[in-house]
Amino acid sequence: MKGCFILEEKKTFFGEFKEFISKGSVLDLAVGVIVGGAFTAIVNSLVNDVIMPLVGLLLAGVDFTALKITLKAAADDGTGGVFLAYGNFLQATVNFLLVAFVLFLVIKGINSLRRKEDEKEEAPEEPAKPSEEVLLLREIRDSLKK
């Protein structure tokens, strides 16, 4: 009897997991992550292939990814050296700032469109003009009141 209870709990657990996975928000998140990965590749290409060469040109040909500090030189016996590659960190920081800036612009544009749509929905519509019959009945009512 106790074994059946455990089996029933597992079924409920997997049922809940299936429900969680099949919800739209989880699927939307998965699509967002995939599109974000593709977008990151585009931004990385923009930074690495367009922006950083221009910055390097402005800074007398400095390649940021090649910037490093030697902590321990390579030994004659073939052991490698130890380097602090801060240029890669600078590159990643520039990538992050560009991605954040582009996302800021996209979200700002979306919010602007939403505000415009909300303003259109909130704008009061002109009330419909009453028909001639209603106007005539109002005139009769007003004259009877007098």
d(CA 105, CA 108): 5
**Predicted local distance difference test score (pLDDT) of residue 53:** 80
Which residues have CB under 8 Å from 87's CB, separation 6+? 63, 64, 65, 66, 67, 68
**Cβ atoms of residues 99 and 40 within 8 Å:** yes
Q: Are 36 and 83 in contact (CB under 8 A)?
A: no
Instruction: Write the Ramachandran bin of 29: left for phi over 0, alpha for psi from -120 to 50, otherwise beta.
Output: alpha
Q: 90 with 102: CB under 8 angstroms?
A: no
Query: pLDDT tens track of the chain, all 146 residues?
Result: 455 545 545 568 888 878 777 776 777 888 888 988 888 888 778 877 888 788 778 877 777 778 888 888 877 776 778 888 888 888 888 778 877 887 788 889 888 988 888 777 766 667 788 888 888 888 889 888 88
Q: What is the pLDDT of residue 125?
A: 67
pTM above 0.95, yes or no: no
Query: Would you call 71 helix, strand, or coil by DSSP?
Result: strand
* pLDDT score for 94: 79
Spatial separation of the C-alpha atoms in residues 67 and 84, rounded to whole Å:
9
Strand partners, 69: 84
pLDDT at position 123: 61
**Which domains, ranges and CATH numbers included, belong to the chain?**
6-125 (1.10.1200.120)
